[in-house]
Amino acid sequence: MFESSEHMEKVTQGLLQACDEVNTNCCQSVNAMVEATAAMSKGCEEFSRKLGTLIQESVSHAMKTGKTMMAAKSVKEFGELQTEFAKSFFDQ
């Protein structure tokens, strides 16, 4: 009887230790997921900010070019301005 009680104690201790290890691993996994999500969120925020700036600059450049092209005095000048716009837009 004493041996089975001792065996049961060892099994119980083993189960408790296994539960502690699972708990520790779960906590580490959750912490890693939280950190990864925070990094991804920060990256998305930075991407959105840069994309917004790029779109704003592009629209501003297009508006300025449109005004310049509307002031063209000839079809030839308009074509030259269009070529310059396309070239600068591509370079940008």
Average pLDDT over residues 17-37: 94
Q: Assess contact for 45 and 36: CB atoms under 8 A.
A: no
- Count of structural domains within the chain: 1
**pLDDT of 36 strictly over 70:** yes
| 37-to-32, 40, 41 alpha-carbon distances in Å | 9, 5, 6
**pLDDT of 83 strictly over 80:** yes
Residue 80 confidence (pLDDT): 87
Q: Give the structural domain span for 84.
A: 2-91
**pLDDT of 73 strictly over 90:** no
Q: Model pTM greater than 0.85?
A: no
Tokens, residue 45 = 């925020």
**pLDDT of 1 strictly over 70:** no
Tokens, residue 41 = 């969120």
Q: Which residue has the tokens 């997921």?
A: 33
Residue 43 confidence (pLDDT): 96
